Amino acid sequence: MISMFMGEYRHTIDSKGRIIIPSKLRDELGSDFYMTRGLEGCLYVYPKKNWELIIAKYKDIPDTRDKRYFMRIFLSGAINCEIDAQGRVNIPSPLVEYAKLEKDCLIIGVDERLEIWSKEEWDIFINENENKLSDIADTLFTI
């Protein structure tokens, strides 16, 4: 069964690149999970079972230039993660830099994955897109 995540959790990242994964999410995430570059400047975090399904889907896509470009960026940043005894995960510096994580961060549940955002980048994303939400909903959910 695929995991489903939702909610918004505010945390900070420490100087060593560690962030606490909320206890409410840890059980569903599991002890063995994957993190990589996401879209729009965030990080994607997948439970192992969800990650394996995504990789299987990508393997079914024909080998085109777009697939190669996307997979290079997506997989070159991917790491297998574990949560430490304090509930933290260590984010490698290339991923910290990519997502512009400095101090205040958000972990949000987005269906089959978690996303880790810089609070500043999340605020920009929300401010630029919240007035489009009604139009997007109309497009996605028309009968």
Residues sharing a CB contact under 8 Å with residue 141, sequence separation 6 or more, in sequence order: none
pLDDT attached to residue 31: 85
CATH number for position 129: 3.40.1550.20
Q: What is the mean pLDDT of residues 2-17?
A: 91
* Host domain of residue 94: 5-140
Q: In what order do the strands lie in the sheet with 43-47?
A: 5-12, 104-111, 113-118, 43-47, 33-37, 79-81
Q: Residue 33 in 3-state DSSP?
A: strand
Q: Measured between alpha carbons, how far is 111 from 101 in angstroms, rounded to an integer? A: 22
pLDDT at 143: 57
| Contact by Cβ (8 Å): 44, 36 | yes
How many CB atoms within 10 Å of residue 95? 20
Band of pLDDT at residue 1, cut at 50, 70 and 90: low
- Taking only the tens place, the pLDDT of each residue in 36-56 is 999 999 999 999 999 999 999
Number of domains comprising the chain: 1
Single-letter amino acid code for the residue at 78? A
Residue 8 pLDDT level (bands cut at 50, 70, 90): very high
- pTM of the prediction? 0.91
Q: Tell me, what's the pLDDT at 132? A: 84
Q: Phi and psi of 21, rounded to 5°?
A: -90, 120
Q: Which of 45-54, 71-80, 132-141 has the lowest mean pLDDT?
A: 132-141
Residue 86 is classified by DSSP as T
User: Mean of the per-residue pLDDT values for the chain?
Assistant: 92
Q: How confident is the model at residue 114 (pLDDT cuts 50, 70, 90)?
A: very high
Going by C-alpha positions, the residue among 131, 129, 127, 106 that lies closest to residue 42 is 106
